[in-house]
A and B are shown apart, each in its own frame.
Chain A
Amino acid sequence: MKIDLQNITKQYGETMILDGVSIQVKQGRLLSILGYSGAGKTTILKIISGLVKQDEGRVMINGIDISGCPVEKRNIGYVFQSPLLFPHMTVEENIRFGLEIKKWDSARTQARIAQLLELLQIEGLEKRMPSMISGGQQQRVAIARALAPEPEILLMDEPFSSLDPTLRYEMGELIKEIQEKCKLTIVFVTHDRNESLALSHEIAILIDGKIAQIDNPKNIYYRPVNKAVARFMGSCNFIPGKIEAGTFYSSIGALKTDEEDGDKTLFIRPEQIRIDAEGKGFIIKSCKSIGKEVIYTIGTENLNLTVETLGYEIFFVGQQVGLLFPQDGLYFMTGA
């Protein structure tokens, strides 16, 4: 286990920011921590890096407790939300800074800088001052600077939140590429679920100071442990009902399943439901187009469902339709 946080607790004054947080990250994996702003995501990174000291719990790296080790000795790369380049140094001096502090010899330093410039695709900017390059370039330099002393762990705190969407996507791809090339272990903090789903091997959901779920992106999205996680990952439908002898009975009808009997709630994402124009039993109540997708609210008397379809399937409000549910892989939460 590369990073192993055990029962981390942190309080600021009266407010409990982290309450018994445990996270494990394996060597060479990218874990993202997802949560609302102010949830304490940044605090976790600061505790791993040593900038903030936890009240209780242990930080283990490679099986060794480093809680007592000062920041400057940890060799953990940290990329902040804004690039925070040292404004009095050129791009190259910024990247070189950490190596100078660690007293690398000049040949090795030169080689490392050249390598990073190429890796981050910022060749030709070496002599520029930070104020003379664009926001995206600044963030690349910041990443290069953090990577320069060859850390095995890289912490990233919403590093792309100030960039525009296309650039964000590009940077995400770049991070994935670097992560694989350098076999880095990355902990990535974000509040953007799409970014997190696209980049991560594992996602940890932080809600109210606790890790609500930590799992791979697919499970987080389709098999959330509770409604809070489900809602956090996007719009969703909860259909209360009952399973008896392999059949789920609810207001939308009966569905086959091999789950155990009892009161259950069917969890289903809007895009998993398909609309059947020939069918009956449901009424289109509202319809909103957001470009590629159309979002419908479709319901019976006492239940409303959100359904997403691609834009070319046009239904009008008030139309009677049927709904098609997937036949297998349905996910049920316990209780009504």
Chain B
Amino acid sequence: MKKTILVFISLIMIFPMLIVLLLSMFSYYRFPLILPQHFTNTFWKTAVVENPLFVSSLANSIVLATCNGICSTVVGIMTARALVRHEFMGKRVVRMFFTLPLFIPAMALFLGVHSVMIRLQLMNHCSGIILAHMLISVPYGINIFISFFQGINRDMEDVGKTLGCTPITLFSRIVLPLIMPGIYLSFSISFLISFTEYFSTFLIGGGNIITFSTMMYPYVHNGDLGNGAVLGIIFISINVGIFYLTEYLSRKKLKIDSYLFE
């Protein structure tokens, strides 16, 4: 019973993408055909090869997402470290509010961010987009590292000190390797958030910085099935690739994990 439900759910999740896959390769889809017919590669040509924005938007997206991944991870580590290991004034406030951006309706949040960006003259700048994306990815990063730091026995760091570690060697030789899986995870989540984010990218980037999602928007808006399908498949394949890469990298560390959190 449970198995049937679970398998059924999986099919529901996967099935729309199967139709999309077909739509990207078959051009003839008149009502009431259930599945499209007439194999073609035109969509791949028009959406990828003949699309002047394809390469540049993809490159923009990857650069922005990578920067966001790095920045959010670093801020996540710093904040989580302070929350788990240090006492300071306002700790409760930080602990309560670090997830705030996720709970503010995105439109209102980003219209505010937009007004600040204008004042700081960060409109149409990559740095502005990265900062906006960080707002919605940092909370996830902090959450990840809070659980990682809590998983490291405080005494483990004391052991390092008694063996002669300075704070810097302690961090690089012991703490960093232990939170490595968290770094992969936080990086990939932040990467994906930035990569798939449409509204803030478009709002802050204006017409100037075209990313993969803003490039795809008109195709969705106009209901361009064939080209939209092609772009979507590429989009999602990249996401899946990132996801697998992360999982592969952190699986190598899995043995540590099970020891750490026992």
Contact = CB atoms under 8 A, between A and B. Distances in A.
B163 interface: yes
Contacts of A131: 255-256, 258-259
Interface size on A, as a range, is 20 to 34
B163 A84 contact: no
A49 B155 CA distance: 13
A49 B162 contact: yes
Interface stretch (B113-121, B169-177, B191-199, B236-244): B169-177
10 contacts: A72-B161, A75-B164, A77-B162, A84-B156, A86-B177, A87-B255, A88-B178, A101-B163, A101-B173, A131-B259
Given A72-B164, A88-B178, A130-B259, A80 B159 contact: yes
A315 interface: no
A277 interface: no
Contacts of B174: 86
A146 interface: yes
A101 B172 CA distance: 12
Interface in A131-156: 131, 145-146, 148-149
A98 to B, nearest CB: 4
A80 to B, nearest CB: 5
Interface string B251-262: 001011011100
Interface in A168-210: none
B164 A101 contact: yes
Interface of A: 46, 49-51, 71-78, 80-82, 84, 86-88, 97-98, 101-102, 129-131, 145-146, 148-149
A300 B159 CA distance: 56
B149 to A, nearest CB: 15
A72 B166 CA distance: 6
Nearest to B169: A101
B255 A98 contact: no
Contact of A51 (B162, B163, B165, B259): B162
Contacts of B253: 88
A148 B163 CA distance: 9
B256 A87 contact: yes
Contact of B156 (A49, A76, A86): A86
A78 B163 CA distance: 8
A71 B163 CA distance: 9
Nearest to A78: B162
Contacts, number: 71
B166 A88 contact: no
Contact of A101 (B153, B165, B259): B165
A87 B180 CA distance: 12
Nearest to A145: B163
A131 B161 CA distance: 22
A98 B256 contact: no
B159 A78 contact: yes
A73 B259 CA distance: 30
Contacts of B177: 86, 88
A159 B157 CA distance: 17
A102 B260 CA distance: 26
B155 A149 contact: no
B255 A51 contact: no
Interface string B224-249: 00000000000000000000000000
A50 B162 CA distance: 8
A82 B259 contact: no
A81 B155 CA distance: 9
Contacts of A81: 155
Contact of B153 (A72, A76, A84, A129): A84
B104 to A, nearest CB: 37
Contacts of A74: 162
A149 B260 contact: no
Contacts of B153: 82, 84
Given A88-B253, A97-B160, A146-B162, 15 more contacts: A46-B158, A72-B162, A77-B162, A80-B158, A82-B155, A84-B159, A86-B177, A87-B178, A87-B256, A87-B260, A88-B177, A88-B178, A129-B255, A131-B255, A131-B258
